[in-house]
Amino acid sequence: MKQAVILAAGEGQRLRPFTVNRPKVMLFIAGKPILQYVIEALAQNGIRDIVLVVGYHKEQVLDYFGSGEPFGVALTYVTQQKQLGTAHALAQAKEAIKDDFLVLPGDNLIDADTIDRFAAVAPGAVLVKKVDNPRRYGVVTVQRGTVQQIMEKPEEVASNLVSTGIYAFNRAIFDFVEPQLGLPDVVNRMLVQGHKIKALETVGAWLDAVYPWDILNLNAAILRRTRARSGGTIETGVEIKGPVSIGKGTVIRSNSYIAGPVVIGEGCEIGPSVCIFPATSIGNNTVMAPFTEIKNSAIGSDVSVGSGSIIHDSVIDNGCHIDGRFAACSGQAEIAVNHEHHLVSFGAMLGEGCRLGSSVVAQPGVIVGNYSQVRSLKLISGCLPDRSLVV
């Protein structure tokens, strides 16, 4: 395999508020967008001719990746004007496809090991993986290494093998694409007409962010690969344990404690006397004031967190300003997303550009929309829409 198509046109509606202003593939996890991890995995397997199918907020993808040269790949862009489905997205890339190629979702977290053996497989094939909750995905029935059927989100599951959305095809696939809208439908159509589709199982990393709280799982998975690195200034009295990566120009003030895996971006000011516990990532140009404690959280860039704050199991998007004594502690809550109800456990999810006054307490499971404002001494809960004002 020398060519790949990455499907990167989707919005990720169930991930709101984090996908209102960006496509799902551009969600930053531990300092890099999800799509970058996919591109790097392909490059490490020698696949550098990549077609990107873009659509929703496509300008962000183009601006960040450009020609692909800084990432060691050559990128060709095609546009899916309306996000009708994965097969429709693939059809947009038809003219750019030479022969054998891989298809990958750009919004799933993978690493090079995930597709190592699959990159050498002959078309047609699908990469499958065992998961704990197969009902969320396309369940694959396999017999003697050959796919029998792919069932999307079935009520009853006969297997815990699911499709990763990673396929090996050749140009013959385009004879089956129209008018189907989903690639699993296309595969099933091929099977009915006698074509054989192989199933290859991976044990490598493959994670999908479907809901806002899934970002924490992706963040933790990436951070497990963290290597110790310091491009910043560490004052006396700082204690660092485990793998911690500190970006250029960042200052870790005295008496702070950091237990990795942790990634801190460039130009940040941490402390003094700040505690950062494992599975935490912090973006660029972010300030953490004294006596703040952060654990298992993803903090964006250009964020300011006031002194005496406690942030556990939370996601805080870019540009948020939080005054002192903010409390976001984890706990169980029932969350409704697009008429789906989920019993989950996390702290707070804050969209882009939120401003919180001092001594705000977030009840477990609160989701705050972009550019919302919360006055001091308020208790917030539930789901607040974009540009909410809590007074």
pLDDT of res. 82: 81
CA distance 315 to 15: 12
Q: How does pLDDT run along the chain (391 residues), one tens digit per residue?
A: 789 999 999 888 889 999 999 999 999 998 899 999 999 999 998 999 999 999 999 999 999 999 999 999 999 999 988 877 888 889 889 889 988 899 999 988 888 888 888 888 888 889 988 888 777 778 888 888 888 888 877 777 777 888 888 999 988 888 888 756 788 888 888 888 888 889 888 888 888 888 899 999 999 989 988 888 888 899 999 999 999 999 999 999 999 999 989 999 999 999 899 999 999 999 999 999 999 999 999 999 999 999 999 999 999 999 999 999 999 988 888 888 777 788 888 999 999 999 999 999 999 999 999 999 999 999 999 899 999 999 9
Question: Domain boundary residue among 210, 240, 264?
Answer: 210
Report the CATH number at residue 355: 2.160.10.10
Among 274, 271, 276, 369, residue whose Cα is nearest residue 320 = 369
Structural domain count of the chain: 2
Judge if 161 and 236 occupy the same domain.
no
Give DSSP secondary structure letters for 297-339.
Answer: -EE-SS-EE-TT-EEES-EE-TT-EE-SS-EE--EEEEEEETT
Residue 305 falls inside a structural domain: yes
Quickly count: other Cβ atoms within 10 Å of residue 65's Cβ: 23
Judge if 326 and 271 occupy the same domain.
yes
CA distance 16 to 52: 23
Dihedral sign (CA 221, 224, 228, 233) = positive
Backbone φ and ψ of 246, nearest 5°: -120, 125
Among 263, 98, 265, 230, residue whose Cα is nearest residue 169 = 98
Among 389, 302, 320, residue whose Cα is nearest residue 380 = 389
- Reduced to 3 states, what is the DSSP secondary structure of residue 164? strand
Judge if 170 and 234 occupy the same domain.
no
Radius of gyration (Cα) for the chain, nearest Å?
22
Judge if 45 and 162 occupy the same domain.
yes
Tokens 């008496």 belong to residue? 255
Residue 215 falls inside a structural domain: no
* Cα angle 363, 223, 220; round to 5: 35
Helix H or strand E encompassing 286: none
Enclosing domain of residue 69: 3-210
pTM above 0.75, yes or no: yes
